[in-house]
Amino acid sequence: MRAVTIYRREDGSNFSYPTRHPIGSVLELRTYDRGDNYNDLLRLARRLFALDTADAVRIVIYVSQGRQEDLPERTRECSAG
C-alpha cells in the first residue's frame, strides 16, 4: 500500500511556470502493475477532489513519484553451499 499525492495545477500570472499545490492523497492498493494503475488513480482523484468538471483537468499526479518496486534487500551472504 502506498499513498500517492494529488496536486492541483495552477497557471501563474506569468504563464511561464505553472505551480502545483498538494490537495490530498489516494492510496494505491494494487500490489502489481496492470498498466493503467495511474490512470485509475487519477480518475479516482478527479472524482474526489475536483470542484467541477472544468476543475477536473487541473487535478494531476506526477509520474516522477513513480511506483518504487518492493525488492528484497541485497545481502552479502550467499546460501549456495
Mean residue pLDDT of the chain comes to 77
The confidence score (pLDDT) of residue 13 equals: 65
Q: In what order do the strands lie in the sheet with 19-28?
A: 19-28, 2-10, 59-60
What pTM was estimated for this model as a whole?
A: 0.67
The pLDDT of residue 70 is 42
Residues 13-49 have pLDDT tens digits of 666 777 888 999 888 887 777 778 888 889 999 999 9
HEC string for 31-43: CCCCCCHHHHHHH
CA 67, CA 28: separation in Å to the nearest integer?
9
Question: Cα–Cα distances in Å, from 20 out to 9, 11, 12, 52, 66?
Answer: 4, 9, 10, 18, 17
Name which of 5-9, 15-19, 51-55, 66-70 the model is least confident about: 66-70
Name the amino acid, one letter, at 10: E
Domain boundaries, the chain: 2-65
For 64, the grid coordinates are 516522477
- Measured CA angle at 67 (ends 63, 71), to 5 deg: 155
